[in-house]
Amino acid sequence: MSVTARAASLLVAFLLVAGLVIFVTLYYVRGVSSLPTVHYAASGGQVNVVLQEDPQNDSSSKPDWVSYYVQDPATSKWVHTTLFSVPANTRVNVTLYGYDGCTPLRNNYFSQVQGTIGNTVTLSQFDQHGKEYVSEHTTSVIDSWSDCNVGHTFAIPALGVYVPVASPNAPLSANNLCSESPCVTEGNPYALEKFSFMTPDHVGVFRWQCLVPCGGGYLDGNSGPMQTLGYMMGEMDVVSS
Amino acid sequence: MTTQPEAQGGQPGAGARHGLRIFLIWIILTLAADLIIWFVWKPHMPPGDMSDAARHQQFDIAVLAVSGAPVIIGVLVYFVYSIVVFRARPGDESDGEPIYGNTKIAVGWIIGTTVIVMWLFVFGTVELVVPAGAGAGEGPAPIWKLAGTTSRTWTPNTNTMLEVQVIGQQWAFTYRYPQFGGMESSELMLPVNTPVTFHVTSLDVIHSFWAYQLGVKADANPQVDNVAYVTPKTLGSVTVRCNELCGIWHGAMYNFGHVVAQTAFQSWASGVQAKEQADGVLAALPPYAYAYDPTVVPQLGANLPKIDGITGAAGYYYPPSDPVTP
């Protein structure tokens, strides 16, 4: 083979590999960025973030995966995403609706509320008729091993925020869970948690996740929704205030 | 510049002169490089000198660099010298001189490489044994143990070994302190100048506990107690990373630790223990053990998937046998 032919072959091979790398990179970036981000603006140094976690979701590809939803403050509509942005150095008041049933924590240490203001959450629980059977109980521990009461967690490890997310009780978890997402309070049992934490004074993207092995159908409950953005894994983008 | 016959070793004594020149160039460059490595580069070599293990690792890297520099420089000097001195002149199409059967070169090569390999073997072994495993995980029955008094409690200034259990799960590390009631923390706190025993384990997949500045790295295997030792020597912050690909968010599995004064550590540990006692966290934790079966709640003495009342119909606890296929 002549030098020219060899050089041409080398060039073609190089272009093929480079093209493949660029395609994969763009495909991945485009795939991640297709998730919408819900933006929260501060008012009086505070933002009110509203989340819910459901036993299923309204996607066409993985409808049986457990999933978080984020409420858009502009429209009050639930958005199937786990990306939201908040300003830096701001108090974030979280309202979290827990519609999914209970699953024990792998490490019950995360039953402890950490990193919130006061290291507590305020918990209420309602049955499918709207009856409040636990009313605004402020606690620093929701023990996932003592009763059916923890569905998932909301954890931002880089900020030291670990919050067990309560679930409806055992009979309600077994028989009356919400079956259509995004869930609504009417006709469904749910837990309602409120807590606050401070965002750092610097911008950055902070991963948040669930620490309950809630990936049904996957080894040890890991993988699947546990590790997928838009389901039980999310990112909080702290932007300049 | 040498003449062509000299360059090809055509005159008596030419080979010896080349050898002397190469040796002189090599010895000067080697001395310079080793002095720079030892006195300029070594203080900045990873992982620093925050612990005894880290200091040994920094020393090891510097010694290996000092040992390797003469070899690398020897190769490069001979390479450059050959290009400059032994290059083919215009019109010279003769072959190089055959050097088969040169006993001196053969013996020198065998002795030289043997010395280097044996030196690395002995040095590496000593540096693994003397610093009690060099900060690496030694498994559940460590061969090289760190000196220190073992006790069920820990108090400052007693050379008592502090036991710290490192628990990995996707994607967070937590730390239990059995000498403080088995309290658990999401941040790693250690007292300075104290022998520490890490017991590293996992609740799900294989992770690896890498406390970079401390020079400690030990795999976290489920159902396994992997022991590693360290003695922190200076105050400061420690970055803890997972060093085993453990899932898609492996890169985000990190947190930070701190080496503090012994009295400050005791105050912190006692405070956390008291708070977790008061909040009921200690009662909610499983009894301290070297490894845990995450499908069992020890307080209930039962297998989690079979417990009614803490797993809802839609909240089943997925056991290890749960299939991978969704």
Same domain (yes/no): A30, A88: no
Same domain (yes/no): B239, B178: yes
Q: Are A107 and B222 in contact (CB under 8 A)?
A: no
Read off the tokens for B247: 């899932």
Closest CA to A221 of A147, A152, A143: A152
Q: Which residues of A touch B313 (CB under 8 A)?
A: 101, 173-175, 177
On whether residue B211 sits in a domain, the answer given is yes
Q: Are A231 and A66 in contact (CB under 8 A)?
A: yes
Same domain (yes/no): A18, A126: no
Overall number of domains in chain A: 2
- For residue range A69-87, list pLDDT tens digits in order: 999 999 999 999 999 999 9
User: Residues A146-149: contacts with CB within 8 Å, 24+ apart?
Assistant: A146/B284, A146/B299, A146/B310, A147/B309, A147/B310, A148/A101, A148/A102, A148/A173, A148/B309, A148/B310, A148/B311, A148/B312, A148/B315, A149/A102, A149/A191
Same domain (yes/no): B167, B284: yes
- Cα angle, residue B153 at apex, residues B148 and B158 outer, rounded to 5°: 45
Same domain (yes/no): B182, B66: no
- For residue range A191-238, list pLDDT tens digits in order: 999 999 999 999 999 999 998 887 777 776 778 888 899 999 999 999
Domain hosting A70: range is 38-239
Compute the distance between CA of residue A106 and CA of residue A144 in angstroms, rounded to an integer. 9
Residues of chain B with pLDDT under 50: 1-9, 307-310, 312-316, 323-326
Compute the distance between CA of residue A195 and CA of residue A205 in angstroms, rounded to an integer. 21
Read off the tokens for A204: 């950055």
Q: Which residues, numbered 101 to 130 in chain B, qualify as contacts with chain A under a Cβ-Cβ cut-off of 8 Å?
A: none
Overall number of domains in chain B: 2
On whether residue B145 sits in a domain, the answer given is no
Name residue A71's beta-bridge partners. Answer: A78
Same domain (yes/no): A128, A141: yes
B169's CB contacts (< 8 A; 6+ apart) are A106, A107, A211, B202, B203, B204, B207
Chain B: closest CA distance from residue A157 (Å): 7
Same domain (yes/no): A1, A25: yes
In which band, very low, low, confident or very high, does the pLDDT at A60 lie, cut at 50, 70 and 90?
confident
- For residue range A130-151, list pLDDT tens digits in order: 898 999 999 999 988 877 788 8
Same domain (yes/no): B124, B187: no
Cα–Cα separations (whole angstroms), residue B77 to B24, B29, B81: 10, 9, 6
Alpha helices in chain B (DSSP H): 4-7, 14-36, 52-85, 103-129, 262-279, 281-284
Same domain (yes/no): B166, B124: no
On whether residue B214 sits in a domain, the answer given is yes
With 90 as the cut, is the pLDDT of residue A33 above it?
no
- Average of per-residue pLDDT across A17-45: 83
Q: Which one-letter amino acid corresponds to residue A196?
A: S
For chain A, say whether B256 makes contact (Cβ under 8 Å): no
Q: Note the pLDDT of residue A28.
A: 67
Cα–Cα separations (whole angstroms), residue A65 to A55, A61, A225, B86: 7, 10, 6, 72
Q: Note the pLDDT of residue A3.
A: 85
Same domain (yes/no): A23, A95: no
Chain B: closest CA distance from residue A75 (Å): 31
B176's CB contacts (< 8 A; 6+ apart) are B164, B165, B167, B182, B183, B184, B185, B285, B288
Cα A46 versus chain centre, distance: 20
Q: Provide the 3-class DSSP secondary structure of residue B77.
A: helix
Same domain (yes/no): B58, B180: no
Among B272, B277, B293, B318, pick the best mutation site for testing chain A contact (most A Cβ within 10 A): B318
Q: Note the pLDDT of residue B317.
A: 54
Same domain (yes/no): A27, A43: no
Domain hosting B18: range is 4-88+104-129
On whether residue B156 sits in a domain, the answer given is no
On whether residue B276 sits in a domain, the answer given is yes
User: Cβ contact (<8 Å) for A111 and B312?
Assistant: no
User: Cβ contact (<8 Å) for A220 and B204?
Assistant: yes
- B220, with CB counted inside 10 A (0-12, 13-18, 19+), is buried
For chain A, say whether B326 makes contact (Cβ under 8 Å): yes
Compare CB distances from A218 to B284, B312, B322 and report the shortest one's residue: B322
Compare CB distances from A216 to B174, B255, B318 and report the shortest one's residue: B318
- Crossing angle of helices B52-85 and B14-36, in 10° steps, is 150
Q: Note the pLDDT of residue B13.
A: 65
In which band, very low, low, confident or very high, does the pLDDT at A183 lie, cut at 50, 70 and 90?
very high
Same domain (yes/no): A48, A156: yes
Nearest residue in chain B measured CA to CA from A224:
B326
Q: Are A235 and A61 in contact (CB under 8 A)?
A: no
Name residue B232's beta-bridge partners. Answer: B51
Q: What is the DSSP letter of A143?
A: -
Q: Are A235 and A208 in contact (CB under 8 A)?
A: yes
φ/ψ (deg, to 5) at B258:
-140, 140
Q: What is the DSSP letter of B142?
A: -
Same domain (yes/no): B187, B125: no
Same domain (yes/no): B185, B279: yes
Compute the distance between CA of residue A227 and CA of residue A230 in angstroms, rounded to an integer. 9
Indicate left, alpha or beta for B9 from its phi (over 0: left) and psi (-120 to 50: alpha). Answer: left
Cα–Cα separations (whole angstroms), residue A137 to A38, A101, A166, A193: 29, 19, 12, 9
Same domain (yes/no): B171, B69: no
A69's CB contacts (< 8 A; 6+ apart) are A51, A52, A53, A54, A57, A78, A79, A80, A81, A181, A182
In the sheet that holds A233-239, the strands lie side by side as A37-39, A83-87, A233-239, A204-209, A150-156, A161-166
Specify the pTM.
0.84
Closest CA to B191 of B171, B215, B165, B163: B163
Q: Are A151 and A100 in contact (CB under 8 A)?
A: yes
Mean pLDDT over the full length of chain A: 89
Helix (H) / strand (E) element for A12: namely helix A3-33
Compare CB distances from A100 to B172, B284, B314 and report the shortest one's residue: B314
Same domain (yes/no): A42, A89: yes
Q: Provide the 3-class DSSP secondary structure of residue A152.
A: strand
Q: Note the pLDDT of residue B4.
A: 44
Q: Are B80 and B29 in contact (CB under 8 A)?
A: no
Q: Note the pLDDT of residue B5.
A: 44
Cα–Cα separations (whole angstroms), residue A15 to A29, A141, B164: 21, 57, 52
Q: What is the DSSP letter of B179?
A: G
